[in-house]
Amino acid sequence: MTRSRFFFNGGIFRQNMRQHGWIGIMYTLGLLFAVPLQMLLSGSDERPPLEIDSLFDIAGNVQMLFILTLPVAAALFQFRYLQSKQPSDLWHSLPLRRERLLAGHMLSGGLLLLVPVWLTSVLAALLHSLDSNAFLYQAADVWIWCLSVSVITVFFYLFGVFVGICTGQTVLQGIVIYILLLLPAVLLLLINLHLNMYLYGYSDNFSRMGMIENWSPVYKLMDITVEPFSMTEIGIYAALSVVFGALSFVLYRKRQAEKTGYALAFTYFNPLFKAGVMLCAMLISGTYFASVQARQPGWVITGYVLGALIGYIAAEMIIRKSWHILTRRVPLEFALYAGLLGLAIWFPISDWNGYENRVPQSAKIEGVYIGDNYQMFGSDMAGEDRQFADEQALSQDKNYIEAVRKLHQAIVTARPGDGDNDRAQYYGTGSHYFNLAYKLESGRELLRTYWLPDAGFEAELKAVMEHEEFKRKQYRVFALNDEVESFRIGNGEKFIRISEPGEVAEFMDILRREILAMSYEDQTGGQIPRATIQTVPKPGVQSQIYYNFTYEWVESYHELDRWLEQKGYADKVRTLPQEVKSVEIFQDNYPGKLSSEQLYNLDVHLQLARSEKRTSITTDKTVIADILDHRRNYQGTNGAYVVIMEYTNGRSEYVSVEEKDATPAIKALLPLK
């Protein structure tokens, strides 16, 4: 028997074409619609062709839809014969070895799926030089697209076949294919959530690397227009295809024909299946209960047990194809599984390696970062900013390292917010969210994330936040460089542009100085910016991905004040007293009297003050000007003035003025307490 005859049986091929040809036809039509047809249709004479980086940019979502479904459909329909008794008997009674059966089916399926891809590629290549083509792309883009789609198609198909050989029901096969394709990403996400919830200071490493979607081809395809496949990914999927293809051959030889209709074709997959379903159910249910009833260990444990029970019952029912699963063995087996999985879930959060309390010794630290945005620095995520990438996240300054270390030490000692999942209360006023990163001598990186209230950490925070290194990173001072062409300054209603090179340089200089000179109180006092300052990059820089960096003009920037006044820009960008219709003001003495939920709800404060007739309304421009100068976000301090401002454009907002900032004009408005 010759080699070609071994692998290729004309009868199998023709039968496949006859029976499953429609899949190929649909794939062809779908891809032709999504790619070449769009090239011809979406163009118009007036519009120049759209320049694209990848053919996935052409109706990527439509492409995705077909790529995601049809290869799997082919695996389901073609290998239906494994899951159904009658066709199984027929195919397996034929004088063909299983390798040959499988190879015949796989080759037919591969051709059914790849010919449409190649046909589409050929058309895209032919249309490349056509004038009326709506898109402009390189010939190489066609090759890359062809390669990417071919590989991912084959991967989906072969993975589907592999799952088909391992399962015994077509419906289950379909469900399991997609679940397994999503599982790595979902599991990572769940584990992340889990660690985040129970491991104090856990820093979410995976989403930092933008890795979650890369762990699932389904996720990846859904985002295909944002980021096409890299060559590495194509290589990985090609390798995985080979692995699953080879496994299919090995397992098919062992598969028993009588397994049609069973959930799993190999009994030794049953424990794995059960444990997998239970683990996912436990994580989902436990995390859910923990997020709803955070402070009640009883509820949380109930959540995990319930998840385990649901997972076990579901898996058992699927395996036995019956809901009558209760036997004498079941409770014992469930206890064993639940116990082992519980241990597996508990172990990583048991702090077995001192994760929570570890603060490296200063001698071993090479660099340090603290701030709210570590992930923006230095990773090569798509869509991120080059300026961030260029800036070194870590600082080598010894004093700074020591200051950060001390803060870290204080945090792990006091453990603010430990066991409290409602971290929202640590956002905003009077609290901080910090990423902490150390680069250690050993080359390793130590990452932590904390939400902490400022209260109790003032000294440590001050040492860190007043350091130049902190401000440089946190307030993006590094982006005030010669790539800035001009500044756009405004308060949302009106704006000006500073673009004269001399002025730009002068302004930038002052702004940099002002930011670096901010005290701890300036940074945490909730100052409301008078205007925001946006950078506009030079034209050459613009073609790259570039954020328009935003800075603020706040009360504490006295030098900037003077410069803007002097240039006559100040009034053109800040809110003027005549733009305010009226203000209603009262002195707030509610902190301590209200519950913590109501403390920051100023509507409640206002109603109380009104009911006590302690508010006063004015349209006096001096008062308004004073308020505009000193306004801050409400800080929850006793004795501060709370103001509701009505603007002439109909907008209104709450601001507050600290007692120390209150001018005599403001004080005069209100009756003495």
Partner 1 sequence: MMIEIRGVSKSFQGEKAIDGVSLTVKRGAIYGLLGSNGAGKTTLLKTLAGIYRPEEGTVTIGGQPVFEQPEVKRGVIFMPDIPYFFPQASLRTMAEFYRSVYPGWSDKRFKELEAVFKLDTRRKLSRFSKGMQRQASVWLALSCMPEVLIMDEPIDGLDPVMRRQIKNLLFQEVADRGLTVIISSHNLREIEDLCDHIGIMHHGRMLVERELDELKADTHKVQVALRDDRHATALAAKLQILHRETRGSVNLYIVKGDRARIEQTFRVYDPYVLDLLPLTLEEIFIYEMGDAGYDAQPILL
**Binding residues for partner 1, per CB under 8 A?**
9-12, 14-15, 18-19, 86-90, 92-98, 100, 256-258
- Identify which of residues 99 and 422 has a Cβ nearer to partner 1 in the complex: 99
Instruction: Give min distance, CB of 269 to partner 1, in A.
Output: 15
How far does Cα 308 stand from its chain's mean position? 28
Q: Choose between 249 and 478: whose C-beta lies nearer to partner 1.
A: 249
652-657 sheet: strands from edge to edge: 616-618, 580-587, 641-647, 652-657
If one counts every other C-beta atom within 10 angstroms of the C-beta of residue 467, the result is: 18
Q: How far is the CB of 335 from partner 1 (least distance, A)?
A: 23
Q: Which is nearer to partner 1, 323 or 352 (CB)?
A: 323
Round to whole Å and give the CA distance between 307 and 641.
51
Shortest reach from residue 72's CB to partner 1, in Å: 20
Give the Cα separation of 346 and 102 in Å (integer).
Answer: 43
Nearer to partner 1, 318 or 461 (CB): 318
- Cβ neighbours of 189 (radius 10 Å): 19
- What phi and psi values does residue 507 have, to the nearest 5 degrees? -60, -45
Nearest to partner 1 of 67, 172 (CB atom): 172
Give strand pairing partners of 645. 583, 653
* Residue placing its CB nearer to partner 1 in the complex, 156 or 273: 273
10 Å Cβ neighbour count for 335? 12
Pairwise CA distance, residues 298 & 12, whole Å: 60
Amino acid at 160: G
Burial class (CB in 10 A: 0-12, 13-18, 19+), 314: middle
**In the complex, minimum distance from the CB of residue 98 to partner 1, in angstroms, rounded to a whole number:** 7
Q: Are 517 and 508 in contact (CB under 8 A)?
A: no
- Say how far apart CA 409 and CA 406 lie, in whole Å: 5
How far is residue 10's CA from residue 152's CA, in Å, rounded to a whole number?
Answer: 27
> Which residues have a Cβ under 8 Å from the Cβ of 122 and sit 6 or more positions away?
none
Identify which of residues 98 and 494 has a Cβ nearer to partner 1 in the complex: 98
**At its nearest, how many Å lie between partner 1 and the CB of residue 79?**
14
CA 617/CA 311 separation, integer angstroms: 62
In degrees and rounded to multiples of 5, residue 158 shows phi and psi of: -65, -35
Q: Give the closest residue to 237 by CA, choosing from 154, 165, 181.
A: 154
CB of 124 to partner 1, least distance (A): 34
Q: How far is the CB of 194 from partner 1 (least distance, A)?
A: 37
Distance between CA atoms of 580 and 532, rounded to whole angstroms? 19
**Structure-block tokens of residue 127:** 């249309």
Residue 544, SS3 per DSSP: coil
Pick the closer one to partner 1 by CB: 19 or 362: 19
| Dist. CA 287–CA 300, nearest whole Å | 8
At 439 the three-state DSSP class reads strand
The identity of residue 467, as a single letter, is H
Which is nearer to partner 1, 90 or 505 (by Cβ)?
90
**Whole-angstrom Cα distance, residue 64 to residue 222?**
7
Partners of 553 in beta bridges: 531
Identity of the residue, 14 or 558, whose beta carbon is nearer to partner 1 in the bound complex: 14
Exposed/middle/buried for residue 347 (C-beta within 10 Å: 0-12, 13-18, 19+): exposed
Rounded to the nearest whole angstrom, what is the least distance from the CB of residue 177 to partner 1 in the complex? 22
- Cα separation, 169 vs 149, in Å, equals 28
| Joined tokens for residue 273 | 């299946």
Decide if 167 contacts 263 (C-beta within 8 A): yes
Q: Which is nearer to partner 1, 100 or 462 (by Cβ)?
A: 100
Give the single-character DSSP code of 256: -
Nearest CB to partner 1, comparing residues 101 and 437: 101
Name which of 346, 326, 457, 467 is nearest 396 in CA terms.
Answer: 467
Of residues 86 and 361, the one with the C-beta less far from partner 1: 86
Nearest-approach distance from CB 70 to partner 1, in angstroms = 19
Residue 20 vs 530, nearer CB to partner 1: 20
